[in-house]
Amino acid sequence: MTCCFTGHRELPAAGSEAYNALLASLEAAVNDARREGCTRFLIGGAKGFDLLAGEWILACKAVDPSISLAVYVPFSGQANAYSQADAKRYRAILTAADETLVLHETYRRGCMRERNAKMVQDADLCIAYVRRRPSGSAQTMQMAEKKGIPVFRL
């Protein structure tokens, strides 16, 4: 089974109570997904929640090599506008991922939504960190709900 992640680019400050609660919720949701039979996990490579989820899955994979991580990249230059630290995290995740799917070589209008739709299409379950609407994360969560797959909301 396959699980996709969706969530906001802005996260609580690292080390804050809210951030620690998010980490605990992410860990619990991934454990629940694994109990449901998920061994393949998908992220979209966006800064914020996607990078956090990717790093968590790679940490889990270090303990259980049956887990795999796929990164669905909307376009090749996705990380060009990331901070130096986020770009470094992004590259490390891409290097360690089992699979990378690049949808387009260059940015084109709608490529983020296309990436999100592809992740939902390929998933059996979704883990969502959604705090506001409208947003791409909320839209992705709604796609998953419309498809009828379980959504674990953090």
Q: What is the CATH number of the domain that holds 25?
A: 3.40.50.450
Q: How many domains does the chain have?
A: 1
**Distance (Å, whole) CA 133 – CA 26:** 20
- Predicted confidence band of residue 132 (pLDDT cuts 50, 70, 90): confident
The phi and psi torsions of 106 (rounded to 5 degrees) equal -125, 160
Report d(CA 137, CA 2) in Å as an integer.
18
The reported pLDDT for the residue numbered 29 is 97
Q: Determine the pLDDT at residue 133.
A: 79
Q: Residue 122 — very low, low, confident or very high, per pLDDT cuts 50/70/90?
A: very high
**Residue 134 pLDDT:** 85
- % of the chain residues with pLDDT over 90: 95
Question: Domain span at residue 76?
Answer: 2-153
Q: Is the pLDDT of residue 142 over 90?
A: yes
Work out the average pLDDT over 126-136. Answer: 90
- What's this model's pTM, rounded to 2 decimal places? 0.94
Answer whether 73's CB lies under 8 Å from 63's CB: no
